[in-house]
Amino acid sequence: MRRTWWVYVIAVLGLVAVAAPFLWMFLGSFKTQGELLRVPPTWLPEAPTTQNYDDLFAKANFPRYFLNSTIVALAVTAGNLIFCSMVGYALAKLNFHGRTALFVLVLGTLMVPGVVTFVPLFVLVTNAGLANTYPGLILPFLVSPFGVFLMRQFFQGLPDDLMDAGRVDGSSELGIFARIMLPLTRPALATLGILTFLGSWNNFLWPLVVAQTEEKYTLPVALALYSTGQNAQNFGLLMAGAVVVVVPVLVIFLAFQRHVTKGIAITGIK
């Protein structure tokens, strides 16, 4: 296929189709309720107002939800970086009994959907006194089969000579892991960190189940309940809410997109 101008026309039209709903949301969040209901709709806000954002932050307690989402996502990301790299290293580089069994277990649960585990998890978390708490939101996601798989793949690509050199120098096994091997996995850690953060930020079913009062809602839970509850008709507020959920993710993604697309191409999993 030769490069021709029409290929670019199609590609740009595709980009417009992808971007249009986001643009619609962004522009809509600055419109008044009256303008949002107008037929035919306007593109640019006629009298741009930040009223929707003011409501979001003053009346709707979105700063709280934002903080909750941030706390949960950071904790989940830290846990995955620490624990998944530890296990990934053991599975890839250490000889021990039960290694194959552990790996099979990890692979076998790679595709277990959240909808299968949330009921017993809720019973467990409630009886542990963790319902409607940060640990209740965080603990079930502190490790992930995906993270273990990704880190194992990456560690396998590192040469064994480095470990042998460390052993000759008298390093302990844990020292070899922490000081020699782990620093070499920065690209994989970056990929895992970003994917985990985004996954946690967007996670919905479990926070919906376990966050029972408003002060523990994460952003998606709050937005979903607002959009189906008594604020369902407050279009401007919902548009502004969607902006607050989406924009941090877009910023993080655009800043680190190389790591994300590379990680997906390597492991093939999102």
User: CB under 8 A: which stretch of 50-58, 97-105, 154-162, 183-191 binds other proteins?
Assistant: 97-105
- Which residue in the set 99, 169, 179, 255 belongs to the binding site for other proteins (CB under 8 A)? 99
Q: Which of residues 116-135 bind other proteins (CB under 8 A)?
A: 116-124, 126-127
Residue 211 CB, nearest approach to other proteins (Å): 14
User: Sign of torsion, CA 233 33 220 71?
Assistant: negative
User: Quick one: which of 259, 219, 213 has its CA closest to 242?
Assistant: 219
Q: Residues 6 or more apart from 197 whose CB is under 8 A from it?
A: 73, 74, 76, 77, 252
Q: Which of residues 1-40 bind other proteins (CB under 8 A)?
A: 1, 3-4, 7-8, 10-11, 14-15, 17-22, 24-25, 28, 36-40
**Rounded to whole angstroms, how far apart are CA atoms 97 and 107?**
18
The answer to whether residue 227 forms part of the interface with other proteins (CB under 8 A) is yes
- Which residue in the set 58, 67, 107, 112 belongs to the binding site for other proteins (CB under 8 A)? 112
Omega before 40 within 30 of 0, i.e. cis: yes
Q: Which of residues 174-193 bind other proteins (CB under 8 A)?
A: 174, 177
Q: Which of residues 53-92 bind other proteins (CB under 8 A)?
A: 83-84, 86-87, 89-90
**Rounded to whole angstroms, how far apart are CA atoms 112 and 66?**
28
Contact pattern for other proteins over residues 189 through 218, marking x by CB under 8 A: ---------x--xx-xx--xx---------
Residue 215 CB, nearest approach to other proteins (Å): 19
Q: How far is CA 174 from CA 80, 89, 90, 179, 223, in A?
A: 18, 10, 10, 8, 44
The answer to whether residue 157 forms part of the interface with other proteins (CB under 8 A) is no
User: CB under 8 A: which stretch of 48-56, 136-144, 154-162, 184-192 binds other proteins?
Assistant: 136-144
The answer to whether residue 219 forms part of the interface with other proteins (CB under 8 A) is yes
Comparing CB distances to other proteins, the nearer of 49 and 102 is: 102
